Structure formats: C-alpha cells, structure tokens
Amino acid sequence: MLANTEAMATIAVRDLAAARTFYGDTLGLQESATGGDAEGEVLSYLSGSSRIMVYRSQYAGTNEATSATWATGDEIEEIVAALKAKGVAFEHYEMPGLRLEGDIHVGNGMKVAWFKDPDGNILSITGN
C-alpha cells in the first residue's frame, strides 16, 4: 500500500524564523515554494528526492529520539566538518559497539553523527 510512496520527515519547531535560518542556511536545504501553507505555519524543504516539513507546534523539541536522518555515504566527515564550521554542535552518546572519533560515532560498519536544531530536535547523518 505505501511501499511505492515517498515518506517525509515532519519536524515540530517553536520559532519558524530560527528554523528557516537553520534548515535553509545552516543545513543548506532548499525551501520549496510548494508544500508550505498560506498562513506561514509550515515550511517545506527539498532534500534529495525527499521533502522535510517543518511546522510550528507547542510540542517542539519534546521528542527524545532522532527526528530525521540523512544518508551521506563517504561524505560524512566532510559534512560534519562543514556543519561544525557553521556552528553546529554535535551530540556524543554512549552506545554499545560504537566508539567516538571526533564527532562521529563509528562501529559495526557504520558511521553516525547526531546534532540538534534550535528547538532541540535530534537530527543525524550516517555514512560508511
């Protein structure tokens, strides 16, 4: 039923202006003219062939799990360095089977780095 349909991340934020700066300028996502709303309560971003919806909510930042993940392949180190240069602070977690190399958790054939948006939503990038 849904196997041939695109999925999208939907992320709650309190401050749409701060979100627009973070998702557009810091992460470099392209804001889409379609998919937002006329009242200015929803922003839509293109990310590869997928879409990310960012909307105003009083529950922003309450999710204690990852909200969105980008698969970056061999570019993870370069992307982490570029985001860090833009002021993104990376999260460091104690996780079985993973060791921390700089800001990247490495182990079991994967690499992953976690960071938060201005509302505390957890985002991640993965690589190999």
- Please report, for the domain that includes residue 104, its CATH number: 3.10.180.10
Instruction: Classify residue 97: in a domain, yes or no.
Output: yes
Instruction: Classify residue 55: in a domain, yes or no.
Output: yes
Q: Using an 8 Å Cβ cutoff, are 108 and 127 in contact?
A: no
Cα angle 39, 27, 7; round to 5: 65
Domain interval for residue 108: 9-127
- Tell me which residues of the chain have a pLDDT lower than 50: none
Instruction: Classify residue 1: in a domain, yes or no.
Output: no
Scan for tokens 């196997």, then name that residue: 3
Confidence (pLDDT) at 39: 72
pTM score, two decimals?
A: 0.91
Instruction: Classify residue 21: in a domain, yes or no.
Output: yes
Instruction: Classify residue 3: in a domain, yes or no.
Output: no
Confidence (pLDDT) at 35: 62
How many domains would you assign to the chain? Answer: 1
Work out the end-to-end distance of the chain between its first and last CA atoms, rounded to an integer number of angstroms: 31
The number of beta carbons lying within 10 Å of the beta carbon of residue 28 is 13
Confidence (pLDDT) at 83: 98
Instruction: Classify residue 22: in a domain, yes or no.
Output: yes
Q: Return the DSSP state at 51.
A: E
Confidence (pLDDT) at 5: 87
Confidence (pLDDT) at 37: 63
